Structure 1
Amino acid sequence: MTGWTFDQPRNVACITCRSVVDGQPVLVVTHYEDDHSWAFLDGSEPDDATALLVAMSTVVDRHPDLHDISDLPPGWSAKRDAAGQPWSMRQLSEG
Structure 2
Amino acid sequence: MSHAHRFDESTWPFDSPINTHSFTTRQVLDGGLPILEVYHDHDGDWQFLCGTTQDTADGRLVCLGCMIDRDAALLQLADLPVGWSAVRESTGHAWLRQPDEYDEDA
> Structure 1: which 4+ aligned runs deviate by more than 3 Å?
none
Query: TM-score, normalising length from structure 1?
Result: 0.88
**Amino acid paired to 2:34:** P
Q: For residue 22 of structure 2, what is the aligned residue in structure 1?
A: 14
- List gaps (5 residues or longer) in structure 1: none
| Match status 1:94 vs 2:96 | no
**Amino acid paired to 1:25:** P
- List gaps (5 residues or longer) in structure 2: 1-6
CA-based RMSD of the aligned residues comes to 1.5
**Amino acid paired to 1:38:** W
* TM-fit CA distance, 1:17: 0.7
Distance 2:15 2:54 in 1: 24
How many percent of aligned residue pairs carry the same amino acid?
Answer: 38
Of 36, 39, 44, 1:30 maps to 39
Residue by residue over 1:1-28, the C-alpha shift from the partner in whole angstroms, topping out at 9 and shown as x without a partner, is 7521112111110010122224321100
Of 56, 74, 79, 2:64 maps to 56
Aligned length in residues: 94
Distance 1:47 1:7 in 2: 29
Query: TM-score, normalising length from structure 2?
Result: 0.80
| Match status 1:75 vs 2:77 | no
Highest CA radius of gyration, 1 or 2?
2
Q: For residue 4 of structure 2, what is the aligned residue in structure 1?
A: none
